[in-house]
């Protein structure tokens, strides 16, 4: 996940058309692709040329010295069909594309070299190998595997294909292979196992070579969930590797590998951290080769899962941060403050002074409480690095764990200096696509905090949090955050891959969508396997969101069975087809008025929430079915949706349009999901939502389900002043309260930290949960005014909705077509200027006061009238008794 901010409209775009990037499927590069017929896509570079439309494209595919040319009349520049015959395993193909426009102009050639990975299971001749069995009721001790091999030295390509049951790191001749960390990542390992392809040419030398592998338990066998289950996918760690030279296997995992049971990594657990013994460091272990065989590797059963070379970008080290200060706490502890809450670990930059009797212990936490490290939110996760001194420590980083932290408490080393440690930020390395900025500094910080929470929680799977004994792929969290995430980063492969895991695990649960994916058992109440609206509905809503952002209908096709299974078998229904009240619901989880210890006990009826979602997803399923030509299902879900909608109305909506739960979330969902029939009802809902918001003094009373939609719902019914007033509120609960408290990420609770600096007493008190950051969709689509109007951004909607004290805003999105950007500024009391750039082959529907047009590529400026709101700020509704509610507005 790169950190750059995209250029908006600052520099002038060139007056010619060029292709910015050519891609195969959703891969970050053409290397190691797992498709025999990969679809091709090209994004155009920004241009000042107006109305450029593609009319045709040419593709030249060169394979084994032979070129084939294809000329296709089409305006499609995204996900076009592979024109040639299917690729075979390991085959390379050089692809060139150029596009021609309606004006006759043609782009230069864009190029991409493709290399297919191992496409067939039978391409694998290696065996899964491991060490001796380890006690099943204890964390698995990391160990190493090693093998020597010879290499002739004159190859064109050398490739290592590798994966593990557990987590692995490979070294060849003493050098680390690749830049991935926590490989092979986390999948539903019983069904899907990712393998990685590495170009190892620079690491090999003619003659004698050594390959060595570190193996740790990772997610595969380590403790996961609450209170914690181990060995979910197996209790034997294994490595599978195949090293090929020009397509010939020269070294593969087999019984001739040596197991090194003792090594410097003594323990490494996802939740608890890593213990490292510098005295056991042997820098030559994978360089100079094999001594005498100690233990032969055990052959383990070959993985039953499908072996996949993923489109999902790997987890990488993104950047490093130096501590900003060294704090001595009231109790005398030494704490490093990195100034930013993040997911990752510390790298040691020095050989820490000490003897072989000394140990340094580093504890990680997100916050300080009363000046000391605040570890209570970690619950049972120890999140501790233990380093035994006496050997080299310079350059040490943990291998098979990560921490969510801003602060690191160091004991056992007194003379700590700022340069001794760096924080290494890790994340799945998605391409950054979106930016946002406006005239309100705290709102900008809220946006930046959301980006950081996304980085910290897009670690192989989309997780709830990166620090405590959870770090799980909670489906509801991703469901609400996906539109924000997909604006900020190219999530197609990452979320698309996770949805495959969801469907695979759902199959084992007979249609119930697991609440965490990959599925993790959670005794005693097995919360993870109970059918929950909004969480399970990720299977319907999230592929639809991906389709909107990336225009790829295969997300819908691949998810279709899962959608049908969920609606037909997973949702527990009463006689009317509604959610049965026999099974509990998460409802509007973490509504701020729910008691700290009971986050689901919300004022909004959880079944109202669940059934609103049910109507919504049934309608969506009918729409998806129609798109996929599933005619019978389209009719069936269409009529189910009408029936459920009528039932929702008779159950929860009064004749005048009030709702049985008179809460912000209830009205928000009904408005967002179009559950009202008449203008009179709509007007009631509008007034109730306005009233409730002002009655609550602009404080938020929504949880996970209402939060993403409350500001868009207010905008939808033209109550922008209320929306902006709520956005700009600083008292808890509000979006800006954490910002005023110094937050650098999005908190799980509106008040994870209380105003007096103490940590919320509830169990769920993470400081890095992206769900409430879903408000950024409002910032992108309404404050800056940029969203997709057609799937895949063939047409954008540009509709800035200025309000509050925001006087300018800008956003950009590097879509599958190319870069769209909007920048508006209220220039004086009367005028507003809006600058829009549209990529070649794109278009935008511009909606501004007095303007409603569709325009094509190039740069456009619109001057419109703008008037500050004379009524601003909206006022609180006062009760009849007591002293007036004070709601001091701070701009
Ligand atoms: C997680 C959430 C999740 C919720 C649902 C929590 O423990 O952190 O983000 O959605 O449980 O129960």
Question: How far apart (Å, rounded) are the C-alpha atoms in residues 779 and 436?
Answer: 8
Pairing of strands 306-308, 192-194: parallel
**In the chain, what percentage of residues exceed pLDDT 70?**
97
What pLDDT score does 260 carry? 94
Nearest C-alpha to atom 2 of ligand 1 is from which residue?
464
Q: Of the candidates 42, 186, 56, 176, which has an alpha carbon nearest to the alpha carbon of residue 112?
A: 42
Digit-coded pLDDT (tens) for 648-682: 999 999 999 999 999 999 999 999 999 999 999 99
pLDDT at 576 exceeding the cut of 70: yes
> Which residues' Cβ are closer than 6 Å to ligand 1?
464-465, 470, 474, 476-477, 586, 589, 764, 769
pLDDT at 405 exceeding the cut of 50: yes
The contacts of residue 655 (CB under 8 Å, 6+ apart) are none
> Which residue in 127, 275, 366, 470 is the catalytic one?
470
Beta-bridge mates of residue 268: 274
Ligand 1 atom closest to 527 (CA): 12
Using DSSP's 3-state secondary structure scheme, residue 443 falls into helix
Distance 464 CA to ligand 1 centre (A): 7
Distance 542 CA to ligand 1 centre (A): 18
Neighbours of 281 (CB within 10 A): 15
Nearest C-alpha to atom 5 of ligand 1 is from which residue?
586
CB 579 within 8 Å of CB 592: no
Question: How far apart (Å, rounded) are the C-alpha atoms in residues 473 and 520?
Answer: 9
Question: How far apart (Å, rounded) are the C-alpha atoms in residues 842 and 793?
Answer: 7
Element (DSSP H or E) covering residue 720: helix 720-727
Per-residue tokens: 57: 């494209």
Is-catalytic flag, 748? yes
Distance 704 CA to ligand 1 centre (A): 10
Over residues 404-426, the mean pLDDT reads 97
pLDDT range class, residue 291, cuts 50, 70, 90: low
Per-residue tokens: 603: 């004022």
Question: How far apart (Å, rounded) are the C-alpha atoms in residues 141 and 319?
Answer: 29
Nearest C-alpha to atom 8 of ligand 1 is from which residue?
464
Is-catalytic flag, 470? yes
CB 195 within 8 Å of CB 159: no
Cα angle 16, 789, 103 (rounded to 5 degrees) comes to 25
pLDDT at 3 exceeding the cut of 80: no
On the CB side of 524, how many CA atoms lie within 13 Å of its CA?
0
CB 782 within 8 Å of CB 715: yes
Distance 477 CA to ligand 1 centre (A): 8
What pLDDT score does 597 carry? 79
Q: Distances from the Cα of 798 to the Cαs of 154, 510, 775, 851, 868, in angstroms? A: 56, 43, 18, 11, 21
Number of H helices, E strands in the chain: 14, 43
Question: How far apart (Å, rounded) are the C-alpha atoms in residues 213 and 196?
Answer: 14
Nearest C-alpha to atom 4 of ligand 1 is from which residue?
474
In sequence order, what DSSP letters do the residues of 775-829 get, joined into one string?
GHHHIIIIII-EEESSGGGSSEEE-----TT--EEEEEEE-SSBEEEEEEEE-SS
**In the chain, what percentage of residues exceed pLDDT 90?**
89
Overall size of the chain counted in residues: 891
Digit-coded pLDDT (tens) for 704-745: 999 999 999 999 999 999 999 999 999 999 999 999 999 999
Strand order in the sheet with 844-848: 786-788, 796-798, 844-848, 851-855
Distance 884 CA to ligand 1 centre (A): 37
Distance 122 CA to ligand 1 centre (A): 41
Pairing of strands 458-459, 461-462: antiparallel
Question: How far apart (Å, rounded) are the C-alpha atoms in residues 701 and 722?
Answer: 14
Domains along the chain with CATH numbers: 1-118+786-891 (2.60.40.10), 124-268+282-312 (2.60.120.260), 316-428 (2.60.120.260), 434-784 (1.50.10.10)
Digit-coded pLDDT (tens) for 82-118: 999 999 999 999 999 999 999 999 999 999 999 999 9
Pairing of strands 325-328, 334-348: antiparallel
Q: Distances from the Cα of 411 to the Cαs of 85, 224, 333, 352, 757, in angstroms? A: 62, 28, 7, 12, 24
The contacts of residue 179 (CB under 8 Å, 6+ apart) are 314, 316, 317
Q: Phi and psi of 692, rounded to 5°?
A: -60, -35
What pLDDT score does 5 carry? 38
Neighbours of 301 (CB within 10 A): 11
Which stretches of 183-237 are assigned E, i.e. beta strand? 192-194, 196-199, 207-216
pTM: 0.96
The contacts of residue 612 (CB under 8 Å, 6+ apart) are 648, 666, 669, 670, 673, 675
- The string over 241-275, giving b where at least 16 C-beta atoms fall within 10 Å of a residue's C-beta and e elsewhere, is bbbbbeeeebbbbeeebbbbeebbbebbbbbbbbb
Distance 143 CA to ligand 1 centre (A): 34
3-state secondary structure 538-586: HHHHHHHHHHHHHCCCHHHHHHHHHHHHHHHHHCCECCCCCECCCCCCC
Distance 528 CA to ligand 1 centre (A): 10
CB 110 within 8 Å of CB 22: yes
Over residues 793-822, the mean pLDDT reads 97
Q: Sign of dihedral through CA atoms 849, 852, 853, 854?
A: positive
The contacts of residue 857 (CB under 8 Å, 6+ apart) are 44, 47, 49, 50, 51, 52, 53, 838, 839, 840, 841, 842, 843
What pLDDT score does 52 carry? 96
pLDDT at 289 exceeding the cut of 70: no
Question: How far apart (Å, rounded) are the C-alpha atoms in residues 366 and 354?
Answer: 28
Per-residue tokens: 342: 């993040």
Beta-bridge mates of residue 319: 425
Nearest C-alpha to atom 12 of ligand 1 is from which residue?
586
Q: Of the candidates 97, 108, 43, which has an alpha carbon nearest to the alpha carbon of residue 70?
A: 97
Question: How far apart (Å, rounded) are the C-alpha atoms in residues 419 and 410?
Answer: 14
CA of residue 653 relative to chain centroid, distance: 36
Ligand 1 atom closest to 465 (CA): 8
pLDDT range class, residue 395, cuts 50, 70, 90: very high
CA dihedral 629, 632, 638, 643 (to 10 degrees): -170
Nearest C-alpha to atom 11 of ligand 1 is from which residue?
474
Question: What is the rounded radius of gyration, in angstroms, for the C-alpha atoms of the chain?
Answer: 28
Ligand 1 atom closest to 599 (CA): 12
CB 649 within 8 Å of CB 573: no
Digit-coded pLDDT (tens) for 162-211: 999 999 999 999 999 999 999 999 999 999 999 999 999 999 999 999 99
Question: Mean pLDDT score of the chain, rounded to an integer?
Answer: 94
Per-residue tokens: 609: 């929430």
Ligand 1 atom closest to 586 (CA): 12
Using DSSP's 3-state secondary structure scheme, residue 609 falls into helix
Ligand 1 atom closest to 535 (CA): 10
**Ligand 1 binding pocket mutation candidate from 456, 462, 470, 472 (most atoms within 8 A of CB):** 470
Ligand 1 atom closest to 771 (CA): 9
Distance 151 CA to ligand 1 centre (A): 51
8-state DSSP, 872: P
Ligand 1 atom closest to 477 (CA): 10
CB 92 within 8 Å of CB 115: yes
pLDDT range class, residue 609, cuts 50, 70, 90: very high
What pLDDT score does 7 carry? 42
Question: How far apart (Å, rounded) are the C-alpha atoms in residues 561 and 498?
Answer: 15
Pairing of strands 31-33, 110-116: parallel
């Amino acid at each position: 996940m790169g950190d750059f901010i995209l250029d908006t409209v600052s520099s002038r775009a060139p007056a010619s058309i060029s292709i910015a990037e050519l891609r195969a499927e959703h891969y970050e590069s053409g290397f190691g692709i797992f498709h025999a017929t990969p679809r091709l896509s090209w994004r155009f570079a920004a241009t000042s040329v107006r109305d450029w439309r593609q009319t045709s494209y040419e593709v030249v595919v060169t394979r084994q010295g032979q070129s084939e040319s294809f000329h296709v009349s089409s305006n499609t520049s995204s996900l076009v069909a592979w024109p040639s015959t299917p690729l075979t395993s390991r085959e390379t193909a050089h692809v060139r594309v150029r596009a021609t426009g309606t004006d006759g102009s043609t782009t230069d050639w864009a190029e991409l070299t493709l290399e297919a990975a191992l496409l067939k299971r039978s391409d694998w001749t290696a065996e899964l190998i491991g060490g001796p069995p380890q006690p099943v009721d204890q964390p698995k001790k990391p160990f190493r595997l090693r093998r020597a091999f010879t290499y002739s030295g004159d190859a064109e390509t050398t490739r290592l294909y590798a994966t593990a049951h557990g987590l692995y790191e490979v070294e060849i001749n003493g050098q680390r292979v690749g830049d991935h960390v926590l490989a092979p990542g986390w999948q539903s390992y019983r069904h899907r196992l990712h393998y990685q392809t590495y170009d190892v040419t620079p690491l090999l030398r003619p003659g004698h070579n050594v390959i060595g592998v570190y193996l740790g338990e990772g997610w595969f066998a380590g403790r996961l969930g609450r209170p914690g289950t181990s060995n979910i996918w197996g209790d034997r760690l294994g490595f599978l590797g195949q090293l090929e030279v020009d397509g010939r296997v020269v070294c593969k995992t087999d019984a001739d590998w040596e197991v090194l049971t003792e090594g410097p990594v003594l323990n490494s657990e996802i939740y608890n951290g890593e213990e490292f013994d510098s005295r056991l460091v042997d820098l030559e272990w994978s360089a100079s080769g094999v001594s005498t065989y100690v233990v032969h590797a055990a052959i383990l059963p070959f993985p039953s899962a499908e072996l996949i070379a993923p489109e999902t970008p790997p987890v990488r080290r993104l950047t490093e941060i130096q501590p900003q200060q060294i704090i001595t706490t009231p109790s005398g502890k030494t704490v490093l403050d990195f100034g930013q809450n993040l997911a990752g670990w510390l790298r040691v930059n020095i050989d820490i002074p000490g003897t072989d009797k000394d140990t340094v212990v580093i504890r990680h936490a997100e916050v300080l409480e009363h000046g000391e490290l605040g570890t209570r939110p970690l619950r049972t996760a120890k999140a501790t690095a233990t380093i035994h001194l006496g050997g080299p420590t310079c350059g040490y980083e943990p291998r098979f764990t990560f921490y969510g932290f801003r602060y690191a408490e160091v004991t056992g080393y007194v003379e700590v200096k700022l340069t001794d440690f760096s924080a290494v930020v890790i994340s799945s390395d998605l391409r950054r696509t979106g930016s946002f900025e406006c005239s309100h500094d705290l709102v900008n910080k809220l946006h930046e905090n959301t980006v950081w929470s996304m980085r910290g929680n897009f670690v192989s799977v989309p997780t709830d949090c990166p620090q405590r004994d959870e770090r799980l792929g909670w489906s509801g969290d991703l469901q609400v955050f996906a539109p924000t995430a997909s604006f900020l980063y190219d999530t197609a492969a990452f979320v698309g891959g996770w949805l495959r895991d969801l469907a695979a695990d759902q199959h084992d649960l007979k249609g119930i969508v697991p609440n965490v994916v990959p599925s993790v058992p959670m005794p005693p109440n097995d919360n993870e396997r109970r059918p929950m609206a909004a969480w399970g509905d990720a299977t319907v809503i999230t592929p639809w969101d991906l389709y909107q952002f990336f225009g790829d209908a295969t997300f819908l096709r691949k998810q279709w069975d899962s959608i049908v299974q969920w609606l037909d078998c997973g949702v527990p229904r009463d006689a009317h087809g509604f959610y049965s009240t026999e099974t509990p619901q998460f409802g509007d989880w973490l509504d701020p008025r729910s008691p700290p210890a009971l986050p689901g006990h919300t004022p909004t009826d959880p079944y109202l929430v669940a059934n609103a979602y049910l109507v919504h997803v049934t309608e969506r399923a009918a729409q998806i079915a129609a798109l996929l030509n599933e005619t019978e299902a389209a009719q069936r879900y269409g009529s189910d949706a009408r029936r459920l909608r009528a039932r929702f109305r008779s159950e929860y909506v009064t004749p005048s349009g009030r709702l049985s739960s008179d809460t912000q979330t209830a009205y928000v969902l009904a408005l967002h999901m179009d559950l009202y029939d008449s203008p009179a009802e709509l007007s009631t809902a509008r007034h109730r939502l306005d009233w409730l918001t002002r009655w609550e003094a602009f404080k938020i009373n929504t949880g996970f389900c209402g939060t993403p939609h409350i500001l868009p719902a207010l905008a939808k019914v033209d109550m922008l002043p209320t929306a902006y007033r709520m956005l700009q509120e600083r008292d808890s609960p509000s979006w800006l309260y954490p910002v005023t408290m110094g937050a650098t990420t999005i908190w799980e609770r509106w008040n994870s930290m209380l105003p007096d600096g103490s940590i919320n007493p509830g169990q769920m008190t993470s400081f890095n949960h992206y769900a409430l950051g879903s408000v950024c969709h409002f910032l992108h689509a309404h404050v800056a005014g940029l969203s997709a109007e057609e799937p895949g951004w063939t047409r954008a909607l540009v509709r800035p909705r200025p309000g509050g004290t925001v006087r300018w805003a800008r956003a950009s999105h590097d879509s599958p077509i190319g870069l769209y950007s909007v920048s508006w500024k209220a220039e004086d009391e009367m005028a507003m200027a809006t600058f829009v750039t549209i990529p070649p082959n794109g278009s935008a529907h511009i909606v501004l006061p007095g303007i409603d047009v569709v325009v094509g590529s190039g740069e456009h400026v619109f001057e419109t009238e703008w008037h500050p709101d004379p009524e601003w700020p909206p006022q609180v509704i006062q009760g009849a008794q007591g002293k007036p509610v004070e709601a001091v507005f701070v701009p």
